[in-house]
Amino acid sequence: MSKPWYYTIGYPVKVLYEGAWRNGIICNGYRHEDGIINTMTEVGPVGFGAARREEFLKPNMPDDNPWIPTKERLPKDSEYARVYMTIKPYTNPGTIKGCISNGKFYYANGKPVQCPVLAWKYLRYPKPYKEES
């Protein structure tokens, strides 16, 4: 069984320290396996007990699938893609799944989107589960 992300040495994290979220990494330290979580940030080492990790620590993986504003660009004309869309039907934007084909957005049921689409991102499925041998 693998360790949780907060026990993985070198994992990028955000650490709440002195009222600000700071970039850091999980580092090795005294009693690391017993619940003391040690991080190294741009202001130096920061450590705290596992009981406070939900409050002071969160993963910081880069987003390799960013939102793309529709004003910036759409997929290529010949591209058919399953996407997430941020739409603005009335006053509050919402996120839905759908697809885009030849520059037009469609709901998952195939009907065209009539309201403004503010941004989109590719719908990426995780890789299938693979049993360890």
Same domain, 27 and 72: no
The 10s digit of each residue's pLDDT in 78-93 is 666 888 899 988 777 8
**Which of 13, 42, 59 is the endpoint of a domain?**
59
**What pLDDT, in 10s, does the model give residues 58-71?**
887 766 678 889 99
Look at residue 120 and tell me whether its pLDDT is greater than 60: yes
Write down the residue that tokens 């002195």 correspond to. Answer: 18
69 vs 53: which has the higher pLDDT: 69
Looking at the domain assignment, is residue 131 inside a domain? no
Question: What does the alpha-carbon distance between residue 103 and residue 101 come to, in Å, rounded to a whole number?
Answer: 5
Work out the pLDDT band at 21, boundaries 50, 70, 90. confident
Which residue range(s) make up the domain with 100?
68-122
Q: Are 25 and 39 in contact (CB under 8 A)?
A: yes
DSSP state of 70: T
Residue 36 sits in the same domain as residue 55: yes
Is position 26 within any domain?
yes
